[in-house]
Structure 1
Amino acid sequence: MRVIHRFLALFTLALTSATILQNGQVRENPYPGQVSAIDLDDSWNTYPPDSPEISYKGRWDSKHVSWWSAPGLKVEFSGDKLALSFGQSTTPGVLVAYRIGSLDWQFSNVTADSTYQFVGPWSELNDGEETPEKNVFEMRVQIAGVAVASDAALSKPPTFEKRIEIIGGSLASGQFATYETLSSWSFLFANGLGNVEYGITAYPGVCLADLQCYGGGTHGVQWFWHHASDPGSRASAAYGHEPEEWDVGAEQPADLVIIQMGGNDHRHPNDIPGRNYYHAYVDLVDDIHSVWPHAVVILMSQWGTFTKQNKKYVGSTYYLEETKQVYEHFKDRGFVYYFPTEGLLAHNDINPKNHLTDVGHVKIASHLLQWVKLVLRWKIEPTSEVQSGTTYWNDQQEY
């Protein structure tokens, strides 16, 4: 009987030379799980990137280059080995995180025009069970193909019934977190829900307001929401100012949309006026509702910096009143909710780059998971700690 497996990987933006610090101390083995480059021979059965057996998740353009945060692919495979080939648009030394089933995350650097074997005799595939757990394969890079053993095959896995969409900037994409997107509240929340499909249309620096940020002429997130690639320099080098359009309506409709915007609009030199921010927010929600009329939309308040006042730290919220006004504007229509983040974070949940620490991301994800469970009555599968898939430990007896 053929045994079917799935395999999961996610790309972040760290390079081989990067250093991960934990409270100022260097993590001794920051990227466990490095794999080797190989050459494919007759012992492999290869599938090109346009194979129907490969299920793409998130935004990929016509060249099979992936964009935004945590896009990926999903495959089931038989046999006891799996390799992935990376195309010429792959960022040199990009870090990929991968796992089998729900085992701990492993990390490896890969580069362009190369093939790496991620599953082999060393992998924990079956462990004596007749049917191993199913996993997902996700990436942010051009794919040149997937290969399995010559007597094995790929198959397209089923799609989960529910789907969520998260829209935001650097705070949603996990910038400056330990493993970037993999450590972000958005990824932890989506995976903490369990059996759902998800897309994270988030990128550092993106504004809500259109053509008003960074000196004008830069499109806001609503414009980019209808395009395949993000606002980054990598996309600009590939497509200039004419990225491929993305048919949002052709996707699996989202059941839940979460928006976290305001940080980039608020900061200098953008300084978007509150009324402009409000109108841009209303336009975005109207746009989403016109495409996905049955989706619930959550407006997440945008926390700001903490300031020390006498003997305590006091947090701030950007565009607090304007975001509440957007909620009031849609409240009677019944599909918009407001999720307040005020009081969820402490000053030490903000790192020196004014972004969330890993603990801060876990806090936001954990609170949001419980809010969705209690308010929207969504069932959470699994119900374990959201970051249980990554091993963190301390082996010191004394300090």
Structure 2
Amino acid sequence: MLVFLGFVLLLPAMIYAAVAEPSGVTIKNDHPLIYYHGRWDKSPGTWWAGSGLKVHVKNLRSLALNLGPHTTAPLAAIGVSVNYGEFVTVNVSAGANVIPIPPSVKPSSNSVVRINVEGWQDNRVNLETITLNSGAALLPYKPSKLKFQFIGDSLSAGQFLPKGVDQAWPFLTGEHFKAEHSVTAQPGAALTDILSYGNVHGVSFQFFRTEDTGFYYTTDHNFTTPWDFSADRVSTTHIVIHIGANDASQNVTDTQFVQVYSDFLTRVRTIYHSQPIFVFTPWGWPNADGSFGYYYQGKYQDIVSKRAAIGDKNVFLVDTTGWVSYADVFPENVHPNVPGHQNIANKFIAWLENWGLSPERQWATSA
């Protein structure tokens, strides 16, 4: 049911002429006040949907991204949010790319610009410099005290959505809580480290690498490097995992899946020693007649119970049964549509708040 990596995600976008002020301020990519989030390689270039950067700018009137040759050709779709407004899609390519600044932004004020890649593939942005208008200056960006790490497959990566990951339930959940958030999810990938729908590795391998599974298809970077978790600018506070659909499609047995998932959690605990981990059960594949296709029924409960049995009391089961109906999915691929992702986010937000997590009252860096 999940699409081979050759699928091209088409995103609506706005193309802007690359015009920058000749006397603008040039910010190099190693400037300490650029707040990178997600996974970047050393070029620096993005991997995984949702990776990007944030900048806090004084006297902002214009901003351009100057991108290098590792940027996806002919373009990559990015989401841009200014002062915590709605994310707007902009297509960028190698060279200078002007980022639209809303007319409501007052040049004399401070502004927060958030930028991330939207797609689960064709999502590489190779940052060389940022050009700001003359008189602008970077200020420190203070991250939220909350940070979600989401781990999954197409059901978390925003596949088939017009704005990609920016409309997916993990992203929406993070935004509601005014949290930092990373989405390490890849369509078609199993948790088990096997070939699945064009993915040469499973998430149990790829999660610990810088690159997403698309590395295999690139000509300039067809290798993987270990991810340095100490490079994360803020510590993860909550981990959310929704995975298993592709393991079931690849005939991974119940016993094998429980073992792989348990081993994965053991390794995750070497990085995130005590943070809460939320294990989603499948909401299933809804059918037009009201029936559902489920997989690994009861096995997620077994996985959580196995952690509790060894003393890990901070792994929680999130039972998503009934969260998704046929009206919440695209009929042609049974993946959540835009309202479906919002519905899932709303249900998980309610679950988390009932569990005891409250949203931050305001963003840590005020615009």
Q: TM-score when scaled to structure 1? A: 0.79
Partner of 1:271: 251
1:314 aligns with 2:291: yes
Partner of 2:187: 204
Partner of 1:261: 243
Label 1:250 to 1:146 Cα distance change in 2 as closer, same or farther (>3 A).
Answer: closer
Which of 358, 368, 373 is the matching residue for 2:348? 368
State the identity %: 24
SS at match of 2:219: helix
Partner of 1:185: 169
Count of residue pairs brought into register by the alignment = 343
1:61 aligns with 2:45: no
Q: Deviations over 1:180-211 (max 9, x none)?
A: 111111111111111x2221111111110123
C-alpha distance in structure 2 between counterparts of 1:44 and 1:262, whole Å: 49
C-alpha distance in structure 1 between counterparts of 2:9 and 2:67, whole Å: 17
Which of 63, 71, 83 is the matching residue for 1:90? 71
Which of 262, 268, 276 is the matching residue for 1:296? 276
C-alpha distance in structure 1 between counterparts of 2:238 and 2:337, whole Å: 26
1:137 aligns with 2:135: no
Which of 190, 208, 217 is the matching residue for 1:226? 208
Cα pair 2:24 2:131 within 8 Å, conserved:
yes
Cα pair 2:150 2:183 within 8 Å, conserved:
yes
Cα pair 2:89 2:163 within 8 Å, conserved:
no
Letter in 1 for 2:269: H
Label 1:358 to 1:234 Cα distance change in 2 as closer, same or farther (>3 A).
Answer: farther
C-alpha distance in structure 2 between counterparts of 1:237 and 1:274, whole Å: 37
Letter in 2 for 1:209: T
C-alpha distance in structure 1 between counterparts of 2:113 and 2:274, whole Å: 28
Cα RMSD for the two superposed structures = 2.4
Q: CA deviation at 1:39?
A: 5.1
Q: Deviations over 1:309-343 (max 9, x none)?
A: xxx41123321221111011113521100111111
C-alpha distance in structure 2 between counterparts of 1:74 and 1:171, whole Å: 26
1:335 aligns with 2:314: yes
1:344 aligns with 2:344: no
Partner of 1:73: 53
Structure 2 residue runs of 5 or longer lacking an equivalent are 1-7, 118-122, 363-367
Which of 330, 348, 358 is the matching residue for 1:379? 358
Q: CA deviation at 1:75?
A: 0.7
Partner of 1:37: 18
Partner of 1:21: none
Cα pair 2:56 2:111 within 8 Å, conserved:
no
Cα pair 1:56 1:74 within 8 Å, conserved:
yes
Structure 1 residue runs of 5 or longer lacking an equivalent are 1-12, 19-29, 384-399
Q: CA deviation at 1:38?
A: 2.0
SS at match of 2:191: coil
C-alpha distance in structure 1 between counterparts of 2:180 and 2:138, whole Å: 20
